Structure 1
Amino acid sequence: MTHAIRTLCISLTAVLWAGPALAHFGMVIPSQDVVTDKDKAKVDVVVSFSHPMEGNGMDMAKPKSFGVVEAGRKADLTGTLKPAKVMDHAAWSAQYVFKRPGVSTFFVVPEPYFEPAEDKFIEHLTKVVVPSFGEEEGWDEPVGLAAEIVPLTRPFGNYVGNVFTGKVLVDGKPAAGVTVEVEYYNKDKAYEAPNEYMTTQAVKTDAEGVFSYAVPFAGWWGFAALTEAPETIEKDGAAKKVERGAVLWAKFLEPKRKKK
């Protein structure tokens, strides 16, 4: 075997044994998962794009739109976004003041991100639900995105170990057999996956578009239902596929112990 052929074989082996690809996640993370104190009603909402478990960020262009839905009314908040940094990469943030009891669903529609390693664009339509001042009506209402996860488990006020269930909708219809990737936001890098298969968890939707996942430890968890958009985007003279992810974030907590 010549040196050139041997080198080529080694390179191909390295590619074949590279392991699972890193999962991408759109992220919308508020500074408070619930709002209960009127003196702490101003919340920072941070919008970014990353590999949350590994703690690797990616630069995010300014979103096409960022908004909130409350009691069926949609408000455009795109103009409130300001540049920020998440995991040392370009991100966005906005401040929002909660003024009355209700459930607020924040959502973002990003500019598609081209991933050279996968030769496709990625567009993650991302949501998070924040209740305020004791109200919780409407957490299971869809926003009306091209793809989204509608929670069947209340997406706030959950303990660690609770089973989270959601339904994936594409163009308003249940999406069967869709892979839902699940990752923990390892913000402080407190956890390390035992092996590369443990970094991203994966479940599939059933015939009605429903999936479930039992959360093992406290913190923010993201659920990304991956579908393919019907349209393509041209790049360098070629039509590229678009991964359209429906992403939902929810926080899970440990109970507090009473002081004796």
Structure 2
Amino acid sequence: MSVHKGAPALLGAGTLCVALLLTGCASTAPPAPARSAGAPPAVGDSRPAVVPPRPAAGAPGRAANSLSSAPAPAPRLPGVGPATQALLPDDTTQALVVTGATADDNLSTATLYARDPAGRWTPTAGPWPTRNALRGWTSDHHAGDLRTPIGVFRIGDGGGRLPDPGARIPYDQDEQFAISGTGFAGEPLEGSFDHVIAIDYNRVPGRTPLDKERPLGAEKGGGVWIHVDHGGPTQACVALEREPLRELIRALDPARNPVVVMGPTPELTR
């Protein structure tokens, strides 16, 4: 096994793509501001208008709207709600959003976004078709449940059987990424791990994707990767077609503290 160069840690938390290698994966509106004294009632508002006393002559006037100087809310990552947005690290300026329609879907879509200095998120690559686990998604992943974990996870370590396609993140080329067998649809799994990106679910960040240490315990799964699509659902990983995956590996920038935000739309938009 090659020694994998370290990368900064982010979030921890599994499933089984390495399992095939190592065991078997191949596969609100905010509340309305109080009406200022003297403001006319809004349309449909049955409350009487409040008429303030006239200021004494020479008395300084009061600003009509004390909320006008309130800061605007920070722009939100497209496709996510406030609860998911709150999970993003403050220093993250690159995010891959992977979404499925429902909790039981194994087809999904991925788009890479970048945040500019003003805080605005814009798409920089994709959308790409992706696959996830056979039975869909879960917020409480366990080994063998055939569901992909929902959440926000760091993605900063890559590798594969084939040479580095131009990554800025650490990349571990190793023959141990070779795989064989068939997937859930009878499709060949060979080549699925030619290139992979480790998702920091129940793993130690900064190590090769082949590393088998599971901080949450083996029962919580592990080896959840973004890997080459083999034409069928996965055991827990996210699968992306070969060329988009190579493009993603080249695009990920450790200085941007990249993460993957993944799950079904109803969960991510909360």
**More relative contact order, 1 or 2 (CA 8 Å, 6+ apart):** 2
| Structure with the higher strand share, 1 or 2 | 1
TM-score (norm 2): 0.25
Q: TM-score, normalised by structure 1?
A: 0.26
Q: Rg larger in 1 or in 2?
A: 2
